[in-house]
Chains A and B, each alone.
Chain A
Amino acid sequence: MLPVLTFQDVLGNIPNGIIIIDENSKVLLWNSWMESYSGISTEKALGTGLFTLFPELKEGRIGIAVNTAIENSQSSFLSHTIHKGIFPLFIKHPGETEKIRVCQDVHITSARQDNDTYYAVIIIEDVSVAVIKERMLKERAREEHELNEKLIQEVKERKQVEKELRLSGAVMKATMDGVVITDNKSNIISVNPAFGHITGFSTENLINKKISILKSGKHTKEFYKNLWRTLTTEGQWKGEFINKKPDGKLFTVEASITSIKDNTGATQNYVNVFRDITKRKKDEELLRKLSSTDPLTELANRRAFDEAFEREWRRGLRHSHLVGIALIDVDFFKRYNDFYGHPAGDKCLQQIADILKNIIKRADDIVSRYGGEEFVVIFTQNDPDGIFKLIESVHKDIHELKIPHNNSNTSKYVTISSGISWVIPDSKHSAEQLLEAADKALYEAKEKGRDRIVVKPFSE
């Protein structure tokens, strides 16, 4: 059997506010939820006009909606999202000192008693919990969204970095240049295959080794000091290095070292890109030699002589030391050539050149082939007597060679004539004058019958 319940018993247990008003807005029903949230007792509310209880609601949405319900039987819905607690209802949560306004959705529908009597039923739903939950959810969604965006950004950046690394990795692999990356303490952290090819080191065992394993010992402390200073101040150093292979062989590289800084400006890594220029160096050396060497005798050629003479003259001028010149000419060489043929002539010149090389060994004394059968020696470390003795030895050695010369007027063998002159350079004279003096001496030697040495002092 159903218990006997009053209307109020039922409505009182519904967790919503329920108000029923008649067409004059007079309150016919006011449940206990309304009592507790509005602070207005059912006793006081019943029979009172809704807009007497809440005058501020008459002109607004509630007024219109109530009217629509009673006049037109239409239902209205007022959402908390738009109206933010339209009825002045408050709740005090446990532990809170302040009462807070109830978040509420309001449903207004019409009810009809008989043909002409309409009521408005107002149901107020507390959506506070939903509002709080939604606020939290939104906050969380926002945070997640931000986190997501951040992650996406990070992933993007990482992908970009990876892509760049992949690309630079591919470049490092493919390039003919050696690439070595070190940390800021000069420990090797990465090398490319070309590094191995150039240096002769096995690339697998290089990680964490010091870059100084390549040191050849060919550079001065000053060189390294300068390198580090440039690298620190300018972030890059370019230049040539002589390095050493594991087998001790030296090789020359043209290197470009760049420092890689982190975002605080501190150097994290050094990237050293280099190419082996040992062969180029050799080629250059060869080329330099070719351009300054007489191919037949392998003595310095005329051009090299001019350069050396100019250089030594200036040096003598600076240090006030003696510069001597000996001009040596093969006697009746044209006849020798004509009689024995050019190959023999060439052979003869080579033999004389070898004697010159043998006798004049000082690094600073330069022997050159001056012209066809003419040689010139620059002396910078000898006194006049020493010069004479050296040239005398040359004459002697050539005599001893006994190269037959049937067409010579002076001997059965090849002979030479020499003119020597010397001076301590000063600003009043020129190198050309010294050469002229030696030339005069040579002329005199020829005039006096060849196969002899004439020394002509410079002053005359």
Chain B
Amino acid sequence: MINITDLQRDAITESINISMGKAASTFNSMIQEHIALSVPKINFVSSEEALDILQLPEEKEVCYIKQHFSGTYFTSEAMLVFAQDESLELVKLFLGEETSVADMTTLEHEAMSEIGNVLLNACIGSLSNILKDRISGTLPIFRKCKAQTLFLNERKEEVILLIFVDFGIESKAIKGYIVLILELDSFIKFKEQLLKNLMG
């Protein structure tokens, strides 16, 4: 049921990659460094599988930027997740300062929020293009937690769309993950509409 065909997967990946290009140019207008953004793959998984696939140890500290999106075909909690040490590289890049996640200040959280906001908007924007639907989004919030609690508070049966994001900054490769949590009926509608639009 979760499965989609390779063709569908490729189509979504390509579409998201295009919008990531836009997000990258937004980033590049914000900072001096050149950032290349790419989405090498996407995966539809269950919430139980997600951590394994993200290869995140349960105790690992992560930070995420979260927005709620809703459209005609689906509503979703969308998160951009960084494992701590990697997110620091981004903070350093945007703020030009050394810091640690523990020491990150409110204003630094806000900077991360903006980074996440640009990415999540771009990502949802591309889905909204495929679905030919207006998907509205709330303002981002920034949180820190242990990896194991990332998917805990979801009550219903869900499907998670994992979008792997590579931030290419000079020689460094920072990995982030966009996580779209879709309730099952959302996913079904999403998939139907996706198939219709991709095939049609």
A82 is contacted by which of B94, B121, B124, B140 (Cβ under 8 Å)?
B94
When the two chains form their complex, are residues A77 and B114 in contact, meaning their CB atoms are under 8 A apart? yes
Interface size class of A (residues with CB under 8 A): 20 to 34
User: Is residue B137 contacting chain A, with contact meaning CB distance below 8 A?
Assistant: yes
When the two chains form their complex, are residues A137 and B105 in contact, meaning their CB atoms are under 8 A apart? yes
Chain B, residues 77-111, CB within 8 Å of chain A (1/0): the string is 00000000000000000110000000101111011
Taking CB atoms, residues of chain B closer than 8 Å to A107 are 139
> In the complex, which residues 100-155 of chain B have their Cβ closer than 8 Å to any Cβ of chain A?
103, 105-108, 110-111, 113-114, 117-118, 121, 124-125, 128, 134-140
Closest to A79 in B: B110
- In the assembled complex, the CB of B89 is this many whole angstroms from the nearest CB of chain A, namely 16
Chain A, residues 52-95, CB within 8 Å of chain B (1/0): the string is 00000000110010001000111111111111000000000000
Chain A to chain B contacts (Cβ below 8 Å), 28 pairs: A60-B29, A61-B26, A61-B29, A61-B30, A64-B26, A68-B121, A72-B125, A72-B128, A73-B134, A73-B135, A73-B136, A74-B121, A74-B124, A75-B139, A77-B117, A77-B139, A79-B110, A79-B113, A81-B95, A81-B110, A82-B30, A82-B95, A105-B110, A107-B139, A109-B139, A110-B136, A134-B105, A134-B106
- In the assembled complex, the CB of A382 is this many whole angstroms from the nearest CB of chain B, namely 98
Cα-based distance from A137 to B117 in the complex (angstroms)? 27
Cα-based distance from A64 to B105 in the complex (angstroms)? 27
User: Is residue A127 contacting chain B, with contact meaning CB distance below 8 A?
Assistant: yes
> Which residues does B use to contact A, with CB under 8 Å?
26, 29-31, 67, 94-95, 103, 105-108, 110-111, 113-114, 117-118, 121, 124-125, 128, 134-140
Closest to A111 in B: B136
When the two chains form their complex, are residues B137 and A73 in contact, meaning their CB atoms are under 8 A apart? yes
Cα-based distance from A183 to B128 in the complex (angstroms)? 85
Taking CB atoms, residues of chain B closer than 8 Å to A161 are none
- A61-B26, A134-B105, A138-B105 as given contacts; A75 in contact with B138, CB under 8 Å: yes
Closest to A107 in B: B139
Known pairs A73-B137, A75-B137, A78-B114 / 7 extra A-B pairs, C-beta < 8 Å: A60-B29, A64-B26, A75-B138, A76-B139, A80-B107, A82-B30, A109-B138
Taking CB atoms, residues of chain B closer than 8 Å to A109 are 138-139
When the two chains form their complex, are residues A68 and B125 in contact, meaning their CB atoms are under 8 A apart? yes
Cα-based distance from A109 to B140 in the complex (angstroms)? 11
Cα-based distance from A137 to B136 in the complex (angstroms)? 37
User: Is residue A141 contacting chain B, with contact meaning CB distance below 8 A?
Assistant: yes
A127 is contacted by which of B107, B113, B128 (Cβ under 8 Å)?
B107
Taking CB atoms, residues of chain B closer than 8 Å to A77 are 110, 113-114, 117, 139-140
Cα-based distance from A426 to B115 in the complex (angstroms)? 112
- A61-B30, A72-B134, A107-B139 as given contacts; A79 in contact with B114, CB under 8 Å: yes
Cα-based distance from A138 to B106 in the complex (angstroms)? 12
User: Is residue A130 contacting chain B, with contact meaning CB distance below 8 A?
Assistant: yes
Taking CB atoms, residues of chain B closer than 8 Å to A74 are 121, 124-125, 135-137
Cα-based distance from A51 to B187 in the complex (angstroms)? 40
Closest to B103 in A: A141
Cα-based distance from A141 to B97 in the complex (angstroms)? 14
Taking CB atoms, residues of chain A closer than 8 Å to B118 are 76
Taking CB atoms, residues of chain B closer than 8 Å to A76 are 117-118, 121, 139
When the two chains form their complex, are residues B114 and A131 in contact, meaning their CB atoms are under 8 A apart? no
Taking CB atoms, residues of chain B closer than 8 Å to A141 are 103
Taking CB atoms, residues of chain B closer than 8 Å to A138 are 105
Taking CB atoms, residues of chain B closer than 8 Å to A61 are 26, 29-30
Closest to B69 in A: A74
- A72-B134, A72-B135 as given contacts; A79 in contact with B111, CB under 8 Å: yes
Cα-based distance from A134 to B113 in the complex (angstroms)? 17
Closest to B107 in A: A81
Cα-based distance from A76 to B118 in the complex (angstroms)? 7
For the complex of A and B, 7 pairs with smallest distance between CB atoms: A73-B136, A79-B110, A81-B111, A74-B137, A79-B114, A81-B107, A75-B139
Closest to B138 in A: A75
Cα-based distance from A141 to B108 in the complex (angstroms)? 15
Cα-based distance from A68 to B19 in the complex (angstroms)? 13
Taking CB atoms, residues of chain B closer than 8 Å to A64 are 26
Cα-based distance from A83 to B110 in the complex (angstroms)? 11
When the two chains form their complex, are residues A75 and B67 in contact, meaning their CB atoms are under 8 A apart? yes
Taking CB atoms, residues of chain B closer than 8 Å to A130 are 106-107
Cα-based distance from A81 to B134 in the complex (angstroms)? 30
Closest to B91 in A: A81
Taking CB atoms, residues of chain B closer than 8 Å to A110 are 136
Cα-based distance from A343 to B139 in the complex (angstroms)? 125
Taking CB atoms, residues of chain A closer than 8 Å to B113 are 77, 79
Closest to A68 in B: B121
